[in-house]
Amino acid sequence: MVTEDQIPGQNTDWLAAPPSSGLPPEFRLLCVGPTEPDWIGLTLQLDAVGCNDPKYKWVNSASEAMTLLRSENFDCIVIECWPTNLDDVRWDAPDLVHAIRSSGCSDPIVLLTRQPDDGLTVEACSSHCEILVSSALWSSRALVNVVQQSIRLVETAQQNHHHAVANHRRLVRERDEADHLLRQQRDIISELEAITQGSTRPSSDPADDTAVNNTGNHSAARQSRSLQIPEKIKTYYHELLRTYVIMGSGSLGGEIAQLASVLAEVGLSPRDTLSLHLEQVEHLVSGLGNRSSRHVMSRADLLALELVIHIGECYQQAAADHNSAQHDSDAASPASNCAKTASVDNAAEIS
C-alpha cells in the first residue's frame, strides 16, 4: 500500500498546482460579438486550467475591434459569426479575419458559429484560425479547449517560420562558403599558371620579344588544350562527380583510375584536370536549389584529390617507361658500334 508520504515530490496544495494548460494566469481575451457574453461559464473554465485572473474585452463592431487591436495585445481573439439571415449584418467574419491578418496581427483567432459552413472553414484554414461549431456559443464547454488549440496552432506556425528562415540563412551561408572555396581554387590555378609562365621566360635576356611570344604561345596552347576536352569526357566526369557525392568512394576506385588514364592519354596536366573538376563542381552546386552544398563540396574535394593522385601516378609511370626505353636504347648503341667496327676490320683484312 502506497501512502502520500511515499510519493516523491507530491504537492498537497492542490490549488497551488493547477494543470498545465499553456495559458498565462492573466489571460487576455478579445471577444467580438453582437451582445456581451456571460463571462461566468468561461471564467470557471479558465480557472480550472490555471487562469485565475483573466482579462476580457468585448466589442460589437469590426471597427472597434480593429481600433482596439492597434493599441493593445491579446492572447486570443474570439469572433462570433454574425447570422447571415439578418438584415443588420455588422461584420463578415472572413473579412474581419482577413483585415486582422493584413494588419500584421498574428494573434490566435477562434470563430464561433451555430452551424457548419464550408466556406467559413476554408477561410479559417487559410488564415490559421480555429472554428467552434456549437449552439451554446460562448457557454460551450469546448471553448477553452479550442482556444488552447488555436494558441498551439499559431505557436507551431511561428516555429515553422523561424525554422524555415534559419534553414534559408544556413543554405545561403553554405552557398557563399562554396563560392568562396571555388574562387580560392581558381586563384590557385591562376597562380600556378603565372608561376609556370614566369619560369619559362628567360631572366637574363633583356625584353626579348621572341621569349614573350613563346610564352604566350605556350599559354595559348594550354588554354586550347583545356578547351579541346571531348564533351563525352565532361559528361562522364559530371556523372561520376554526382555519383561520388551520393555514394562516396566505396566502389568508384576503378572508374576514377580509368578516367585518370584517359585524361593522361589526352594530355591533360593536373592543373587542367583541376580546372575541369571546378567547372563541373560549379555546375553541380548551381543546380542544388534548396539543398545543402557543404556535403557536396567536401565530397568533391576528395574526388579531386584522388583523381589528381591517379593522374600523377600515370605520368610517373609514363616517365619511368620512357626512361627505361631510353636506357635500353643507350645500352644497345655500344654493341652496335662494336659490331660495325668488327665488320670494317674484317673487310680490311680480306682486302
pLDDT in tens, 189-247: 888 778 877 765 554 444 444 443 444 444 444 444 444 678 888 889 899 998 888 88
Distance from C-alpha of 255 to C-alpha of 28, rounded to nearest angstrom: 68
Which residues lie closer than 8 Å to 10 by C-beta, 6 or more apart? 4
pLDDT digits (tens, 9 = 90+) for 294-320: 888 888 888 888 898 888 888 888 888
Q: Are residues 240 and 317 in the same domain?
A: yes
Q: Please check whether residues 30 and 131 belong to one and the same domain.
A: yes
| Number of residues assigned to the chain | 351
Other CB atoms within 10 A of residue 302 CB: 14
- Same domain? 147 vs 29: yes
The tally of CA atoms less than 13 A away on the side-chain side of residue 333 is 6
- d(CA 139, CA 131) in angstroms, rounded, equals 15
In terms of domains, do 34 and 120 share one?
yes
Hey, what's the cell of 258?
580509368
Cα dihedral 115/116/120/121 (nearest 10): 150
Percentage above 70 pLDDT, the chain: 75
pLDDT for 161 equals 92
At position 31, the amino acid (one-letter code) is C
What does the pLDDT read at residue 55?
92
The answer as to whether 280 is a domain residue is: yes
Do 198 and 287 contact (CB within 8 A), yes or no?
no
Judge if 32 and 118 occupy the same domain.
yes
Residue 257, domain extent? 224-322
For residue 55, give the 3-state DSSP assignment.
strand
Kindly write down the DSSP assignment for every residue of 269-284, as one continuous string.
-HHHHHHHHHHHHHHH
Same structural domain for residues 115 and 229?
A: no
pLDDT for residue 102 is more than 70: yes
Contacts of 347 (CB under 8 A, 6+ apart): none
The answer on pLDDT for 115 being more than 60 is: yes
**CA–CA separation, 325 and 321 (whole Å):** 6
Confidence of residue 341 (pLDDT cuts 50, 70, 90): low
- Do 150 and 233 reside in the same domain of the chain? no
Instruction: With respect to residue 335, please indicate whether it lies within any of the assigned structural domains.
Output: no
In a shared domain, residues 152 and 44: yes
Indicate whether 143 belongs to any domain: yes
Where residue 30 sits, what CATH number does that domain have? Answer: 3.40.50.2300
pLDDT at 14 over 80: no
Which of 137, 161, 185 lies at the terminal end of a domain, its last residue? 161
In a domain, residue 237? The reply is yes
Q: What is the pLDDT of residue 58?
A: 94
Tell me, yes or no, whether 120 and 253 share the same domain: no
pLDDT digits (tens, 9 = 90+) for 253-283: 888 888 888 888 888 888 888 888 888 888 8
8 found inside a domain? no
Number of domains in the chain: 2
One domain for residues 142 and 233? no
Residue 4: inside a domain: no
Same domain, 22 and 157: yes
Q: Mean pLDDT in the chain?
A: 78
> Is 39 part of a structural domain of the chain?
yes
Residue 257 included in any domain? yes
- Judge if 136 and 27 occupy the same domain: yes
| Rounded-to-integer distance, Cα 291 and Cα 159, Å | 21
Rounded-to-10 torsion of CA 332, 334, 335, 340: 120
Tell me the whole-structure pTM to 2 decimals. 0.59
